[in-house]
Chains A and B, each alone.
Chain A
Amino acid sequence: MSNASKVVVVTSGKGGVGKTTTSANISTGIALQGKKTVAIDFDVGLRNLDLVMGCERRVVYDFVNVIRNEAKLQQALIRDKRVENLYVLPASQTRDKDALDPEGVGRVIEELKQMGFEYIICDSPAGIEKGAQMAMYFADEAIVVTNPEVSSVRDSDRVLGLLAAKTSRAELGGPAIRTHLLLTRYSPMMVKRGEMLSVGDVLELLGIPLLGVIPESKAVLQSSNKGAPAILDETTDVAQAYLDVVFRYLGQERQHRFIEDEKRSFFGRLFG
């Protein structure tokens, strides 16, 4: 069982690009497909995954408690109330990122594998310091979340460098971490006007395969207001985009959407 589990880090370097949103939606989406999934919040000191996933009031013990042997893993894991097979391991709000160490993190991940978790999603904090490096250290795969914006692309490139050098696989000489690009907050209309980097531009600059494009949408804020990942309401474009990403990630062919500007009428453009 344990060798069937995959450790996936959701990372970006830059903050505010959608790591936590992506972690919440992808872990929810994978669990909806019947896979036993856990999302771990590595943002010790600034935990937010619990809030975005709507389980903030059920946090008793956290990741750091487990690492310090102050609580059992089963006590800290929060079972999602909406989706079967979905669990959250919240970060500590009162400690700092130094509370994480490779031995402790490795032990917890190994225990999760033994418990039969098929997907272990690690929500990385922003930056390239210790917290981010701990989140990526045991990863088999990485989802690099990027906005079509200069600082985000540059930071993603730095993170790709770290993934290739400062991870367990890199240090032990294992196969390289599989990296996927997830382009978020994309506006096809701005791209068409030449005001935003296109998905092609970003792919060319970063040189990693595209997992998906998430359009800029009000639905993201509304879902975090509610504490219910957007993917649960299939009527929104964001939910559709994340569902595509999940299916694609699990090996199904899905054509990329939300890349082209939808047709707008002449009057729409005049008065839009």
Chain B
Amino acid sequence: MAFFDYFRKAPKTAALAKDRLSIIVARERTGSRSGGASYLPQLQQELLAVIARYETIDIGNVTVNLDKSGGTEVLELNIVLPDAPPPPAPRTTHPALA
């Protein structure tokens, strides 16, 4: 229906495609084309291991990102800590001693 298409506002899916690609391409480039960042997955594992010694963390709440803007590289480590520390286990008295 070319007649109606002419008056319809065109959907700008190309802009959406470009935005999505900018993000995915930047993410995939760290480690391959930029070089030097190939240690990122291992760094993430080791950082996690250290933090897990002190805090109960959920792996899904940890992101490690290497972003390049201009001449600077920014290593971003984002860890969401649990809301409140787990309550100490209640001290119960053994029934035999009650």
Contacts and interface: CB of A to CB of B under 8 A. Distances in A.
Contact of A161 (B11, B18, B29): B29
Q: How many of chain A's residues touch chain B, expressed as a range?
A: 20 to 34
A160 B18 CA distance: 18
A154 B33 contact: no
Nearest to A271: B2
Interface in A131-163: 149-150, 153-154, 157-158, 160-161
Contact of A194 (B11, B25, B33): B11
By secondary structure, the A interface counts as helix
A201 B6 contact: no
Contacts of B13: 194-195
A73 interface: no
Contacts, number: 59
Nearest to A160: B33
Contact of B28 (A154, A165, A201): A154
B59 interface: no
A196 B18 CA distance: 10
Given A153-B21, A161-B29, A194 B2 contact: no
B17 interface: yes
Nearest to A153: B21
Interface string A247-270: 000000000000000000000011
Q: Which of B2, B18, B21 is most buried by chain A, counting CB atoms within 10 A of its CB?
A: B21
Interface string A160-184: 1100110000000000000000000
A191 interface: yes
Interface of B: 2-3, 6, 10-15, 17-18, 20-22, 24-25, 28-29, 32-33
25 contacts: A149-B17, A150-B17, A150-B21, A157-B25, A157-B29, A157-B33, A158-B28, A161-B28, A164-B33, A165-B32, A165-B33, A191-B14, A193-B10, A194-B10, A195-B11, A195-B13, A195-B14, A197-B14, A197-B17, A201-B14, A201-B17, A205-B18, A205-B22, A269-B2, A270-B6
